[in-house]
């Protein structure tokens, strides 16, 4: 069990608990509307997961994850938009067969870079590869030149701002500020009705667990320990024979790919994609989800994302002006008081109590020593 390349015993329990929560508890207790909201929140959990690897482990703070979320989302949305813009659906346009916003912007033919998005296989590859390669290029340009820390964070933020401006400005190619709306079917399967929403929710949870497993694998590999080492003593790692830049590029790229999968899930579950999920504010919000959940905890980041988003939905409905201040305050409070977030609170305060409780029960000879309870005791 200890030689498992993915998880140890207590982590396995944590993953199973999360699986039961997402696959059984939430679908049974929430109506379709609320479940679809959870699906939307979980799209950000992919980003938070990437940030745990990149920021928590590698110490590389990216304030531009919205870029990759957006790229993944737009790739998915382009495919869905093309399918929704069949000739018969768009026969009232002056050029039928192209997306509506192109027609409104006097485009008369589909731009060349849109054409491959007729293929679902290409789209799936593009969702992961376009952001992955973009992160590789940014990472190579920055990390090979030893740009890091605050400077890197500022540059990622600039990239987020630039991409937003680009998307808004190139209205004819991207749908501009409104984004890509009216997405209808995936290979002829309508994604809008309730049963489709439920299916998509389960599909998303499945993808999330695949990403969790990849993250766990990276963390438990020697690479995970090198990331931690790099965060602390970059020079020592460099003078132990490692190319620090390559490891940073890897961490940044994998975080970008996770974010992109989240973006694609967003387009599918929510049914549109717009530049408001690309820019600086959403990018920073994604960092806050990770910080609240615990930047060193893969599962913590997912709970953090769900919790902050639940709070956002309920509070911003009641006090729309106060929400942003609340979010900022929450971030400051977490960083000051609980630098390891919810996961830190759990491992520092809750887990020791559970351990003691179980230990005291085990000691009583006539006590309740059911094996299922003993199994709940964390291995460490």
Partner 1 sequence: MLIGHQPKEFLLAVEALTVSFDGFKAVNDLSFYVDENEIRVIIGPNGAGKTTVLDLICGKTKATSGSIQFRGKELTRMKENEIVKAGVGRKFQNPSIYDDLTVFENLEISYPRGRSVFGALTFTRDAAVRDRVHEVAEMIFLKDKLNMSADLLSHGQKQWLEIGMLLIQDPDLLMLDEPVAGMSVSERAKTAELLNRIIKNRSVLVIEHDMKFVEDIAHKVTVLHQGQILSEGTMEKVQNDPKVIEVYLGH
**Quick one: which segment of 41-49, 120-128, 232-240, 278-286 binds partner 1 (CB under 8 A)?**
232-240
Q: How far is the CB of 239 from partner 1 (least distance, A)?
A: 5
Q: Which residues contact 249 (CB under 8 A, 6 or more apart)?
A: 135, 136, 139, 140, 143
If we measure between CA atoms, which residue out of 341, 157, 134 comes closest to residue 252? 134
Q: How far is the CB of 254 from partner 1 (least distance, A)?
A: 10
Q: What is the CA radius of gyration of the chain?
A: 22
The single residue among 21, 239, 319, 325 that binds partner 1, judged by CB under 8 A, is 239
Site string for partner 1, 240-279 (x = CB under 8 A): xxxx--xx--x-----------------------------
User: 3-class SS at 179?
Assistant: coil
Region binding partner 1 by CB under 8 A among candidate stretches 86-94, 225-233, 272-280, 311-319: 225-233
Of 17 and 221, which CB lies nearer to partner 1 in the complex structure?
221
Q: C-beta of 349: minimal distance to partner 1 in Å?
A: 20
Q: Is the Cβ of residue 71 or residue 251 nearer to partner 1 in the bound state?
A: 251
Binding residue for partner 1 (CB under 8 A) from 226, 264, 265, 278?
Answer: 226
Question: Nearer to partner 1 by C-beta: 69 or 247?
Answer: 247
* Residue 237 main-chain phi, psi, to 5 deg: -65, -45
Where do we find the tokens 């940014």?
A: 138
Closest CB 256 distance from partner 1, rounded Å: 15
Query: Does residue 235 touch partner 1 according to CB under 8 A?
Result: yes
Q: In terms of CB distance, is 118 or 225 closer to partner 1?
A: 225
Could you tell me where the beta strands, DSSP code E, fall in the chain? 185-186, 189-190
Handedness of CA 152, 343, 258, 325 (dihedral sign): negative
Of 66 and 224, the one with the shorter C-beta distance to partner 1 is 224
Q: Phi/psi at 185 (nearest 5 deg)?
A: -130, 155
End-to-end Cα distance, the chain = 13
Return the residue of 236, 329, 352, 380 that touches partner 1, per CB under 8 A.
Answer: 236
Please pick, from the candidates 34, 118, 233, 356, the single residue that binds partner 1 as defined by CB under 8 A: 233
Closest approach, Cβ 225 to partner 1, in A, equals: 5
d(CA 248, CA 58): 7
Cα 189 vs. chain centroid, distance in angstroms?
25
Strands (E) in 93-154, as ranges, are none
Nearest approach in angstroms of CB 6 to partner 1 is: 13
Q: Which of residues 184-223 bind partner 1 (CB under 8 A)?
A: 217-218, 221-223
Instruction: Find out whether 95 and 109 touch, Cβ atoms under 8 Å.
Output: yes
Question: Which residue number, 197 or 295, has a Cβ lying nearer to partner 1?
Answer: 295
Backbone angles phi, psi at 366, to 5 degrees: -90, 5
Calculate the dihedral angle through the C-alpha atoms of 324, 329, 331, 334, rounding to the nearest 10 degrees: -150
Q: Total number of residues binding partner 1 (CB under 8 A)?
A: 23
Nearest to 262 by CA among 296, 285, 238, 291: 285
Q: Is the dihedral of CA 370, 371, 372, 374 positive or negative?
A: positive
Cβ nearer to partner 1, comparing 197 with 248: 248
Q: Is 365 in the site for partner 1 (CB under 8 A)?
A: no
Q: Does 237 bind partner 1 (CB under 8 A)?
A: yes
In the complex with partner 1, the residue whose CB is nearer, 152 or 252, is 252
Question: Which residues lie near partner 1 (CB under 8 A)?
Answer: 217-218, 221-223, 225-226, 228-229, 232-233, 235-243, 246-247, 250
């Amino acid at each position: 069990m200890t030689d498992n390349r993915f998880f140890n015993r207590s982590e396995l329990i944590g993953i199973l608990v999360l699986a039961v929560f997402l696959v059984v508890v939430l679908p049974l207790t929430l109506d379709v509307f609320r479940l679809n909201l959870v699906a939307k929140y979980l799209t950000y959990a992919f980003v938070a997961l990437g940030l745990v690897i990149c920021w928590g482990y590698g110490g590389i703070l990216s304030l531009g994850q919205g870029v990759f979320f957006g790229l993944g989302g737009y790739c998915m949305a382009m495919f869905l938009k093309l399918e929704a813009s069949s000739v018969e659906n768009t026969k009232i346009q002056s050029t039928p067969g192209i997306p509506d916003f192109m027609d409104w912007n006097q485009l008369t033919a589909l731009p060349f870079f849109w054409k491959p998005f007729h293929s679902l296989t290409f789209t799936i590859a593009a969702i992961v590869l376009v952001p992955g390669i973009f992160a590789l290029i940014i990472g190579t340009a920055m990390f090979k030149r030893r740009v890091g820390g605050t400077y890197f964070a500022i540059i990622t933020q600039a990239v987020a701002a630039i991409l937003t401006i680009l998307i808004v400005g190139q209205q004819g190619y991207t749908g501009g500020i409104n984004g890509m709306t009216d997405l209808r079917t995936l290979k002829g399967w309508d994604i809008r009705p309730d049963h489709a929403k439920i299916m998509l929710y389960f599909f998303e949870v499945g993808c999330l667990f695949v990403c969790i497993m990849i993250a766990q694998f990276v963390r438990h590999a020697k690479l995970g320990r090198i990331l931690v080492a790099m965060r602390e003593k970059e020079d020592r790692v460099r003078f132990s024979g490692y190319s620090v830049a390559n490891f940073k590029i890897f961490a940044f790229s994998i975080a970008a790919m996770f974010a992109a999968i989240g973006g694609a899930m967003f387009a599918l579950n929510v049914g549109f994609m717009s530049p408001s999920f690309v820019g600086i504010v959403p990018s920073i919000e994604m960092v806050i989800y990770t910080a609240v959940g615990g930047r060193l905890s893969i599962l913590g980041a997912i709970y953090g994302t769900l919790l902050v988003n639940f709070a956002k939905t309920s509070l911003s409905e009641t006090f729309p002006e106060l929400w942003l201040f609340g979010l900022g305050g929450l971030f400051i409070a977490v960083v000051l008081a609980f630098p390891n977030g919810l996961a830190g609170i759990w491992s520092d305060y809750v887990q020791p109590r559970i351990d003691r409780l179980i230990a005291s029960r085990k000691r009583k000879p006539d006590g309740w020593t059911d094996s299922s309870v003993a199994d709940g005791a964390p291995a460490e």
